[in-house]
Amino acid sequence: MNTRFIFAAMILLLTTPFAVAELDRYALISGDPHLNVVARTQDEQARIANVTALSTDFSVPQQFEERPAGAATVRVTSDANAFSMPSGNITFEDELLFKVGNGLFRKIWVSSPSSTLASDGLGPLFNARSCQRCHIKDGRGHAPEGEDDTAISMFLRVSVPSVDAPYAIDGYHATQGDPIYGSQLQDFSLAGLAAEYRLEISYEEIQVALAGGETANLRAPTYTAADLGYGPLADGAMLSPRIAPQMIGLGLLEAIPAADILALADPDDADSDGISGRPNIVWSQVYDRPMLGRFGLKAGSPSILEQSAAAFAGDIGISNPLHPNGAGECTNLQTDCINAPHGDGDARVFEVDQEILDLVTFYSRNLGVPARRDAGSDDVLRGKEVFNDIGCVGCHQPSFVTHRLEDQVEQSFQLIWPYTDMLLHDMGDGLADNRPEAIANGREWRTPPLWGIGLTEQVSGHTQFLHDGRARNLLEAVLWHGGEAQAARDRVVDLPPEDRAALIGFLESL
């Protein structure tokens, strides 16, 4: 049977009520074809269940908690390089591959034709000239801080509804890119071409009263795609802002068994706790089958390789084996862009060949997670207890054990503490971008990992959080939570000031 037909049938099952309670609605995405897995023994399963059980003792740190990436944990540096170290258990030979991948991640791409044939092919439309330009020091991007700020690592995704797209059935949100502008807007272009737009943001300040006489101020953004270079957007176009997320621990997240993530899903809120996380289900170009979405702000990509390939094409305009268009994101209606010189056609075939794509993927897979700080302090332990008591662990699952792997020693069988369930959650109207992605709707976001979040200012030079950087600190980020997280957010508002401070201190220790 055609696998795409199976995918459509599965989506229908996921989004339509049915009476057969025992039907495994996630059967087709429970495997991990991207990994060479050694099956767990029954003894290992029991040990894993014990070690990942939620904490009930907050007087001391849990065993191994101070090493959030297991043996792959790295020491904490005091400079901006804290997110740029290789996995702590990497071999000497693989560290050399990591360093080559690092060089490619930092590579500045230039326009074609060029004498530097290994580095040409930029654009013609692009958001950045290198991977590092968005993921500055492998950390978090930020929103613009003025009209002349070009180092923002932020862009707008764009799509329009499509009733004619494959699998346009109830609950599967069929969309396509704008017919002129594609699936994201690029704010830079090569000489002689118009950029697609200029990003404008305005903010409205909202004051929130907190228990104990304290207040907090939130800023509600409005985004405008100004100075459109190729005509108006299509009717009904949906825009969604994105800042680059931090890069640490991606290989470990990729190595979490899909079955363990799916076991946390509760799409019908069967336990009546108000939290109904569900997986995003995406089509893998590499494996030609549906897979669990893991990466991206809405879990729209199944693997680091596919996420990297899409970023090369969309962000830098670089063709690769998965995105072979030499003109990058240019559409057929952007004829000057399509006809501009590009770097395909030499010995590489694509501007980034499979070897380079694999090296960048390896680098991204092995960026180390720094060790915890002050995990045993009284204030941090109190903050951890508050985090548990108010229900944050309902989405921010503290720990997993990764697959035992035949060929990835760095990620194999590690107890990790990412504080994410990797699932989609309705975060309410306040954070809604109203733009679907695969089965994710316009109010849903993947729970972001929290490890390393306390080092954001050290690495990135700012404390902007959430998908668009609207939150200027961790408390603001918490106060923007709505939907499934509304109850936990309201409990934070009602906390005594000392407990609220302890909660933020716990988050900063991660």
Percentage of residues of the chain with pLDDT beyond 90: 80
Q: Is residue 247 part of a domain?
A: yes
- The token duo for 275 is 């939290």
Name the band, by pLDDT with cuts 50, 70 and 90, for residue 149: low
Tell me the pLDDT tens digit for each residue of 247-302. 999 999 999 999 999 999 999 999 999 999 999 999 999 999 999 999 999 999 99
Q: Is residue 7 part of a domain?
A: no
Q: How many CA atoms lie within 13 A of 417 on its CB side?
A: 25
Q: Is residue 15 part of a domain?
A: no
Tell me the pLDDT tens digit for each residue of 75-115. 999 999 999 999 999 999 999 999 999 999 999 999 888 77
Q: Is residue 31 part of a domain?
A: no
Q: Is residue 54 part of a domain?
A: yes
Q: Do 476 and 216 touch, CB atoms closer than 8 A?
A: yes
Q: Is residue 167 part of a domain?
A: yes
The reported pLDDT for the residue numbered 426 is 97
Mean pLDDT score, 145-152: 61
Cα angle 361, 366, 369; round to 5: 140
**Does the pLDDT value for residue 150 go beyond 70?**
no
Global pTM value: 0.94
Name the band, by pLDDT with cuts 50, 70 and 90, for residue 163: low
Phi, psi of 191 (to 5 degrees): -55, 135
Q: Is residue 5 part of a domain?
A: no
C-alpha span between 450 and 477 (Å, rounded)? 12
Lowest mean pLDDT among 122-136, 151-165, 278-292: 151-165
Tell me the pLDDT tens digit for each residue of 467-485. 999 999 999 999 999 999 9
- Average pLDDT over the chain reads 91
223 sits in which H/E element: strand 215-226
Tell me the pLDDT tens digit for each residue of 209-227. 999 999 999 999 999 999 9
The reported pLDDT for the residue numbered 153 is 80
C-alpha span between 327 and 416 (Å, rounded)? 40
Alpha-carbon separation of residue 459 from 79, 82, 96, 247, 478 (angstroms): 7, 6, 23, 12, 21
Q: Is residue 20 part of a domain?
A: no
96 sits in which H/E element: helix 92-106
Show the domain range for 199.
Answer: 42-509
Mean pLDDT score, 143-158: 75
Name the band, by pLDDT with cuts 50, 70 and 90, for residue 19: very low
C-alpha span between 417 and 290 (Å, rounded)? 27
Would you give the distance in Å from CA 425 to the centre of its chain?
14
Total domains in the chain come to 1
